[in-house]
Structure 1
């Protein structure tokens, strides 16, 4: 459950706790940040070392991101392809996390309208015909037959994760990736049973969730990452996202919801908050696209001031609605006081991204009180390193470990 105990005792964030069928050593999760360390879609030693640093630094569970369920589902270069032939490398990954004393989660997703033909080799798909306003990619409407294939691919990928020894999977139903795009009236204009009403727009996500649960049962925990709102007029907002979560929660198949916001299609800074690094974004583009970013980048990406715990008030709206699953708070968590506040408000876990990129050993520092808060300054220069090798600019990837496939 997502509420506090009957005695209203605030749990210790550093104590072991249950997440579905597994026990985590503490309540702190390394949030998914696409790593770019898998140039052939396979595990590399560099990827293992990157994640082991978070576990050795005190994080209870680290999230391997982003794991595409199919070659068509890639969102950026250097991501993992979650297929059976990659199990040997994935087993080495999970073994390393377990030996370091932590747990491992695999984020599973299909990029949908976020995908780019230069990466996948095929035209991207969306619930309806749609042009991505940032990449200008024209997405075609996914067919019902293809949707059934995607459902099976999610289940296949979940089974691969279980066979490879992962403790949890995170189903990426956020950021206007394929599944999340079905929630959005801005993108989903379908006239069949997958469009129109909220129940219809949630149907695809529900079918994926149930197929995954049937395939893996209780072999691992199932986390659903869901967007609360994406900051785009006419798209996803709390009045509907809470009800989407309710529909999924009532299946009993979700162990926890990780509550997020923002979009990878448009207005991306709504998720990140803080400085908008136009030069960083421009450096990932070429030719006219680079010029376009420099001229119109702030208008496309958006600009929002950073605040500590900036997702807290929206996330609290889910607490009276979600009855079965636990809730994971994300966004602007940078010190122990933030974690304690999240626990006090009844969240079961906290997820940290940028703060841990800056300091992989931050959790140990906070636990021993050798440091009171994280050093992340939310400059967001890490945001675009996903197109190379994700890292903090203050702790660049100087590792000598191999990026050859294992």
Structure 2
């Protein structure tokens, strides 16, 4: 069968030159919550490497939605910098996407400027911080913030937006019974828990109009007992299909409760704490990190079994993400009926991987799944240890070697 990989694919008003998308993995390259030259250079390198579309991650729709101090915050004053970024991507022949979201309870007052807000009040052990549940009368304005961010994305030259409705962020916190304990019309039944998502999608689709593609990232499973399972998430997917979304990105996991269900493998705790500046957090994570971030074995295309069930049940375009590192497996996924594939770590390891796949039928990237790139992104920019200019301390080298030897 002839490979679909290098054939065009269309999502709503947008046609990509091939079926590859750089997924919206957090780069941690935005000091001051604004785009940097480092962010531009990285996405330009991926675009030059042959990608169909590269997705900038993950832009908060309000200041209260920031979870990191090196994360984008959508506001008018950063539009010129974003326009430079999208111009650079377009000059290399790729489309430019941006992921829009709100972190909900995954923040601190020092970052988001207020007590963190979420679907429900309580204490988030994984931040750790007290959280205020959003009032029902605040939700329409929060939904409008998503719509305004779509308009800002258009002004900045982006071709598409990806709405983050998974991984335990705000929309996901409303959807999941593990984080939504509300007693009003936004809690209880799944129909009620989808109301906030419905409000957001109404604003997003209205703002997107006829010239912006809209993708939505959602969970197929939350990845822990008491979270959402496919019987409910399939209903969420059908609702998003009805909303007019142009494609779904099928993912899973909660960054607070089950982060390695999202990313797979082991979190290198020593590498993670090495870059932390807060002394009590550094030593706290070093002591209990293995318990708080349990490992989940990595295998190539680790979400495929669940994703195939969604493919069988839905007519709309679906994008597969999760553990793609080889041309062979990507061809298999596309032959299974998915319209496109997303990758992140493979492209951090090798920005030109798509071009190499065009030249080599058996191409495989050299990512060895130590997750060092993820460990450092909470404090400094995301980077692959294989391409660092600085020398790593021996203790970090040993940790990376031990994890990679397992894989």
Shared topology, TM-score over 0.5?
yes
Unaligned runs of 5+ in 1: 1-8, 399-406
Residue deviations 1:32-65, cap 9 Å, x none?
1212222122222221111000010111100011
Q: Indicate the residue corresponding to 1:198 in structure 2.
A: 190
The 4+ residue runs of structure 1 with deviation greater than 6 A are none
- Of residues 232, 236, 259 in structure 2, which corresponds to 1:244? 236
Indicate yes or no: 2:317 matched with 1:326: yes
Q: Which residue of 2 aligns with 1:379?
A: 370
Tell me whether 1:122 sits opposite 2:150 in the alignment: no
Q: CA deviation at 1:238?
A: 1.3
Alignment of 1:6-405 (within 5 A): 12-251=4-243, 253-283=244-274, 284=276, 286-323=278-315, 325-369=316-360, 372-386=363-377, 387-396=379-388
TM-score by length of 2: 0.92
Deviations 1:132-186 (A, max 9, x none): 2222211111112221121111000001111221110000111110111011101
More helix by share: 2
What's the CA shift for 1:11? 5.6
Q: Deviations over 1:229-255 (max 9, x none)?
A: 12121112211111111112112x200
RCO higher in structure (CA 8 A, sep ≥6): 1
Q: Is the 8 A contact 2:118 2:132 kept in 1?
A: yes
- Is the CA contact (8 Å cut-off) linking 1:16 and 1:25 kept in structure 2? yes
Long gaps (5+) in structure 2:
391-407
Moved more, 362-371 or 255-264: 362-371
Partner Cα distance (1:10, 1:217) in 2: 35
How far apart, in 2, do the equivalents of 1:370 and 1:256 lie?
27
Q: Do 2:119 and 2:133's aligned partners in 1 also have CA atoms closer than 8 Å?
A: yes
Write the deviation string for residues 316-354 of structure 1: whole angstroms up to 9, x where unpaired.
12123323x310101110011111111111100100011
Aligned partners of 1:244, 1:78: CA distance in 2, in Å? 31
With 366-375 and 108-117 compared, the bigger mean Cα shift is at 366-375
Distance 1:110 1:385 in 2: 22
